[in-house]
Structure 1
Amino acid sequence: MFKLLLIEDDRTLFHEMVDRLSQWSYEVHGIHDFSRVMDVFTNVDPHLVIIDIQLPKFDGFHWCRMIREHSNVPIIFLSSRDHPTDMVMSMNLGADDFVQKPFHFDVLIAKIQAILRRVYNYNNDQNELKTWLGATIDYERNRVSNDDGTVDLTKNEMLILKQLIEKKSKIVSREEIIHRLWEDERFVSDNTLTVNVNRLRKKLADLGLGESIETKVGQGYVARDES
Structure 2
Amino acid sequence: MTNFISIFPLGIVVYPGEQLNLHVFEPRYKQLIVASLAEQKPFGIPVVINKKIMEYGTLVQIKKVEKMYDNGEMDIITVGDSIFRVLEHVPDIPEKLYAGAIVNYPENNDAGNGRLLQEVLHGVRELHAILQIHKSFKKEDSQLCSYDLAHHSGLSLDEEYELLHLFYETQRLEYLKRHLHKVIPMMAEMEKLKERVQLNGHFRNLSADNL
Q: TM-score, normalised by structure 1?
A: 0.26
Between structure 1 and structure 2, the one with the greater Rg is 2
Q: Which has the higher strand share?
A: 2
Q: TM-score, normalised by structure 2?
A: 0.27
**Larger RCO of the pair (alpha carbons < 8 Å, separation 6+):** 2
